[in-house]
Amino acid sequence: MSTDEVAPQERFAYWREAICDVFVQLDAEPVEDSPFDGTIVTSAVDAVEVSEVVADPQLVVRSPRQIAKAREEFCLISLQTAGVGMVSQDGRSVRLRPGDFALYDATRPYTLDFRAGFGQVVYQFPRDALVDRGVDLTFATARTLRVGAVGEVVAGFLRSVHRAGEEIPTDAAPRVAGHTLDLIATAVAAAVCDLPEPDSLRGYRRQRVLDYIAEHLTDHDLSVASIAEGLGVSPRTIYKLFEGDEMTISRRILAARLERCRRDLADPLLRHRSITEIAFRNGFRDAAHFTRAFKRAFGTTPRDYRRGS
């Protein structure tokens, strides 16, 4: 697609529609008043869509409004080939120069800022492809992924995939796409591991899990799998965060539910609620199981505890 196909005064409107067709729904504004030029050449390697973009200055925004209307869940990698670009997401910004590449998540707001003409190759793929590979997307976005030898290897492979494009045989495309996603996940791991204060980072991640548990205790299906999905990470990541702890995630959920039930049973403003109702509204499914668990935790039955409080 090229703006050469339309009249100068209509070019940016055409461009805005073009990038929404190729990528996700976006807002875009030109940076200069001069006639706009831009081209996009697309190809696909199985689930990985590859687009070469060459265009004039512009500001591109993925807003909460667009995300709220979207059904798709994609991640994108921008590999800078010419000029300079700025990727901003999750409170971070990274400046991309030729050879640099960065990740952004289309399920959360982001901004792409190009103050001069630029070139990029953009790789778009399902978000779950990275989550299933153990990538914590909260920490992976808007960072330079061209870190050390691993980053150089991955950048070279991405360029190779772009050059080969649709010449890759159909029967080989799924394997090439899989290798591409494996290497992207590897580049993310290398970049994140290079961050300072890993203990603080791990502590923050653990707290996010605990906060999620506290906010979703009423969900009967709360589990490691549902927590991982809600936080955009893999179950393996959560297990690793709490590796070596005496309490498993399941026991933490049970303990938090029991403590909330104990508090509710002692609350005089909740006397009108039955014990079973209190148990069920705090995530329990079975009244008998709740009674046994409560007695093990507090040495008395829920009924006796309520009477004595």
Q: What is the CATH number of the domain that holds 285?
A: 1.10.10.60
Q: Are residues 215 and 230 in the same domain?
A: yes
Residue-wise pLDDT for 20-66, tens only, equals 777 778 888 888 888 888 899 999 999 999 999 999 999 999 988 88
Q: Do 188 and 209 share a structural domain?
A: no
Total domains present in the chain:
2
Q: Is the pLDDT of residue 198 over 70?
A: no
Band (234; pLDDT cuts 50, 70, 90): confident
Residues 174 and 215 occupy one common structural domain? no
Rounded CA-CA distance 137/88 in Å is 14
Residues 33 and 50 in one domain: yes
Dist. CA 258–CA 264, nearest whole Å = 10
Closest by CA to 29, choosing from 68, 69, 56, is 56
pLDDT for position 124: 95
Residue 309 pLDDT class (50, 70, 90 cuts): low
Most confident range, picked from 1-15, 93-107, 133-147, 186-200: 93-107
- Side chain identity, residue 233: V
- pLDDT for residue 193: 66
Helix axes 287-298, 249-265, angle to 10 degrees: 90
Q: What is the mean pLDDT of residues 86-99?
A: 93
User: Given pLDDT bands bounded at 50, 70 and 90, which one contains residue 284?
Assistant: very high
What is the arithmetic mean of pLDDT over 181-208?
Answer: 73
Same domain flag for 212 and 289: yes
Mean pLDDT, to the nearest integer, of 95-109? 94
The tens digit of pLDDT for each residue in 112-150 reads 999 999 999 999 999 999 888 888 887 889 999 988 888
Cα gap 70→67, rounded to integer Å: 5
Locate 173 and state its tokens: 């495309």
* Sign (positive or negative) of CA dihedral 118, 149, 147, 44: positive
Residue listed under structure tokens 């590449």:
101
Domain-ending residue, one of 172, 193, 214: 193
Claim to verify: residue 169 and residue 140 sit in the same structural domain: yes
My answer on whether 123 and 54 are in the same domain is: yes
Residues of the chain with pLDDT > 90, as a percent, come to 54
**Is the domain of 117 the same as that of 16?**
yes
Region 260-289 average pLDDT: 93
As a whole number of angstroms, the longest Cα–Cα distance in the chain is: 81
pLDDT band at 298 (very low <50, low <70, confident <90, very high): very high
> Between the CA of residue 262 and those of 250, 282, 296, what are the distances in Å?
18, 10, 13
Around 208, how many Cα atoms within 13 Å sit in the side-chain half-sphere? 19
pLDDT value at residue 194: 52
- Lowest-confidence range among 197-201, 231-235, 256-260? 197-201
Give the chain's mean pLDDT: 88
Q: Is the pTM of this model over 0.85?
A: no
Range of the domain at 255: 197-309
Of 141, 165, 193, the residue that ends a domain is 193
Average pLDDT over residues 162-189: 90
223 and 167 both lie in a single domain: no
Q: Please, are residues 58 and 14 in contact by the beta-carbon 8 Å criterion?
A: no
Q: Which residues contact 237 (CB under 8 A, 6 or more apart)?
A: 134, 136, 205, 228
Write the single-letter amino acid at 24: V
Q: Are residues 88 and 155 in the same domain?
A: yes
Looking at the fold, whether 100 and 189 belong to one and the same domain comes out as yes
Residue 85 belongs to a domain with what CATH number?
2.60.120.10
Residue with tokens 């030109």: 30
pLDDT band at 196 (very low <50, low <70, confident <90, very high): very low
* Residue-level pLDDT at 45: 93
31 with 122, same domain: the answer is: yes
Of 149, 171, 193, the domain-final residue:
193
